[in-house]
Structure 1
Amino acid sequence: MMNSRIIITIGFSYIISSIRAYDPDALQDLCVADKSHGTKLNGFPCKETSNITSSDLFVAGISKPAKNNGKSPASVLSAFNSQLPGTVSVAAMLFAAEPALPEDVLTKTFQLGSKMVDKIKDMLATKKSFK
């Protein structure tokens, strides 16, 4: 009987200690590389959290579209067909678009040759009955 009480007490103390062992602030693990610091052992050391600014957290890749011919920012619009909600034929929307997308955009996007792009456009043009 005494052994079971000891085992139960040890079990409860283990459960209680594991419940309290959590991370109260998930943002305390934030690390921004301090590139001005001279010492580099396994990468750059972290900046002090008081020195971190919003410019340190900006992702530069977001503002660089792959193809943007205009002067305004690039944008993407997606829409669903009202007759079949949730289904849109991507091939018809891209290869048979009116006005047509530039061929170099399609070749870069789908990693196809220009002959294959023309072949797909021809196949979709015969089936096209949008108008």
Structure 2
Amino acid sequence: MMKNPSTSPFCMLSCLIVLLALPLPPLLADPDSLQDFCVADLSASASGNGFPCKPASKVSSDDFFFDGLSKEGDTTGIFGTNLTSANVLSFPGLNTLGVSMNRVDFAPGGVNPLHSHPRASETVLVIKGRLLVGFVTTGNVYFSKVLRPGQLFVIPKGLVHFQRNVGKNKALAFTSFNSQLPGAAVLPLNLFASKPSIPNNVLRKTFQVEDSVVNSIKSKFGS
């Protein structure tokens, strides 16, 4: 009597491989939100992807309103820029929504220094002035564009990038993120102003410079 080929070990293994390769059914995907909003309770510790919800009975219209991006920032600092963030820490209504924005003011020649956002992609919208915006890929390819008012540039998640005012007057840009708290690794501060400091011999070897150069750069960032 012949065996049913569908019950052979080879067939069973083949069928299992096919099943594993199929897309997961919708029931196994992340569920849709079961609430309209979750305004952050900033007095509690964050866990997972956000803060615990403020009781709905204590939520008001002000929790969904933020006025911080309407004010021009002080650009007299070392980089000639000022960044105002509208993320979950300053705007609790963004909690669990996966969006945030920054306002970036630039003095003439000001630069938003080389940095990356580990948790978000970014779009840059110029409102006033002319900005050179650029990023570098992990393959060491550099892309850039000079933007004028109304123009957009997108920066993929996690890549090192910058913005620089190349006009003669002040500039203003709004940046948006697909994260309520995108994070920012600012390279000059990470490298030369960390607490405790990165050892000089590591920086010296990395940049192929003398100790005096490393110390000079550290002194500019207060480290």
Higher relative helix content: 1
Q: TM-score, normalised by structure 1?
A: 0.33
The structure number with the bigger radius of gyration is 1
Going by fraction, where is strand more abundant, 1 or 2? Answer: 2
Query: Quick one: higher RCO (CA 8 Å, sep 6+), 1 or 2?
Result: 2
